[in-house]
Structure 1
Amino acid sequence: MKKIIGLVGTNSDHSTNRMLLQFIQKHFSNQAQIEVVEIKDLPLFNKPENKQLPVSVQELAKKIEDADGVIISTPEYDHSVPASLINALNWLSYGIFPFVDKPVMTTGASYGTLGSSRAQMHLRQILDAPELKARVMPSSEFLLSHSLQAFNEDAGLIDFEQIEKLEGLFEDFQIFMDITNQLKSAHAINKKEAESFSWENL
């Protein structure tokens, strides 16, 4: 059974993105071992010169490193991902590189109609950065709109079509993880390039 990290892309205490990941965790419990992980306790990124990372960052990086894949669920603030998610990714690409060649699936929930579509587009750009180099599953974003009304009292998704789409995407993600985890020939070089990359030398 595959190990997947479900990364809550917000520091909000009450988030429908957290609810979405918890639904995914429960709904696919017979297909994968999914751990929902928070970023809200990470300190503000301050680029420590000695690259001594907080214990919470090291622990999160280890979970991602050990996982077969990562599902990131992000809300949308001002057409972008939340500052807290950017903060987490800044830490996870500073002296440590757990996302290099890591299979990633993006999801998102929002109160409005668009379901974090622009935030997910921005997230893909971030994950393609030289220090992250994640492998994001193409054409696969899951957009949960009007998320305050999307769940029932048992925290389950109400719309059967949404569940059906999510099931299809999750099945594709299982295949994507299998394929991606076989593409390891350049992994050592990719990681070395991420470690040695510097914007100052461009």
Structure 2
Amino acid sequence: MIANMNKFIAIVGSNSNKSTNRELLKYMKKRFQSAAEIELVEIKNLPIYKKSADKYVPQEALDIATKIEAADGVIIATPEYDHSIPAALSSALAWLSYGIHPFVDKPVMITGASYGSLGSSRAQAQLRQILDSPELKARIMPSSEFLLGHSLQAFDENGDLKDEKVIKQLDGLFQDFLDFVNISKQLNNANEVNKQKAKEFSWDKD
């Protein structure tokens, strides 16, 4: 691995054992291996989020948070269920903003695959809103939706995308993300303050 190569965490936004969003992230890991080290992270072993008196956070969530903190950026691939992100992804993000705040000022690229023609566009819009919330405060790459529609037919037997136009778009967006991450590294002067504000925020306070 090149010494200054960016390291990204790629979150599979589904708890399904067979997910085209996982296939998409696997493809990105392989295609962009010379430009970045991409580690896939699963959320399917996380319990459903719930508040507790002692503010307990499961070790699985703490482990993911540690990986995010150490990474230069995060890629999230989300399916779309009823025009929204899956409950498993929503629950995972809730754990990752419950007394821990690894996403604060962290560059995030949103992607998504779906069986239909829309390619998880509404789920991605909702995910942007969640990542922009006071408890998460991620730095989401603007104007960067990658929408993989008809995802069951999108990959060949080797797990590679088949459509050259789709590949070209993804290549361009990933290069944009590399540039976005490098620019973001120069924009962290308020990071400590932002983390403190995220820690202090509560919907229960006036």
1:80-159 pair list within 5 angstroms: 80-159=84-163
Residue 27 of structure 1, CA deviation: 0.3
Structure 2 CA distance for aligned equivalents of residues 49 and 124 of structure 1: 29
1:68 aligns with 2:69: no
Query: Which residue matches 1:176?
Result: 180
Q: SS of the counterpart of 2:54? A: coil
Q: Which runs of 4+ in 1 moved over 4 A?
A: none
Tell me the residue number matched to 2:38: 34
Separation in structure 2 between the aligned mates of residue 81 and residue 3 of structure 1, nearest angstrom: 25
AA matched with 1:114: L
Take 2:50 and 2:173, find their aligned partners in 1: how far apart are those partners? Answer: 36
- Aligned partner of 1:43: which letter? P
Aligned residue for 1:88, secondary structure, equals helix
What is the rounded CA distance, in whole Å, between the counterparts of 1:122 and 1:46 in structure 2? 21
Q: TM-score, normalised by structure 1?
A: 0.99
Counterpart CA distance in 1 for 2:19 and 2:56 is: 31
Alignment-derived partner of residue 20 in structure 1 = 24
Amino acid at match of 1:59: D
Identity score, percent? 61
Question: CA-atom RMSD, angstroms?
Answer: 0.6
Shift of 1:139: 0.3
Whether 1:197 and 2:196 are equivalent positions in the alignment is: no
1:150-188 CA distances to partner (integer Å, 9 max, x unpaired)? 000000000011111100000000010011121111111
Structure 1 residue 201: Cα displacement: 1.1
In the alignment, the residues of structure 1 paired with residue 73 and residue 31 of structure 2 have an alpha-carbon distance, to the nearest angstrom, of: 17
Give structure 1 stretches of 5+ with no counterpart: none
* Paired letter, 2:16: S
CA distance in 2, matches of 1:39, 1:198: 25
TM-score where L is the length of structure 2: 0.97
Name 2:57's counterpart in structure 1: 53
CA–CA separation in structure 2 for the residues paired with 1:174 and 1:156: 21
SS at match of 2:9: strand
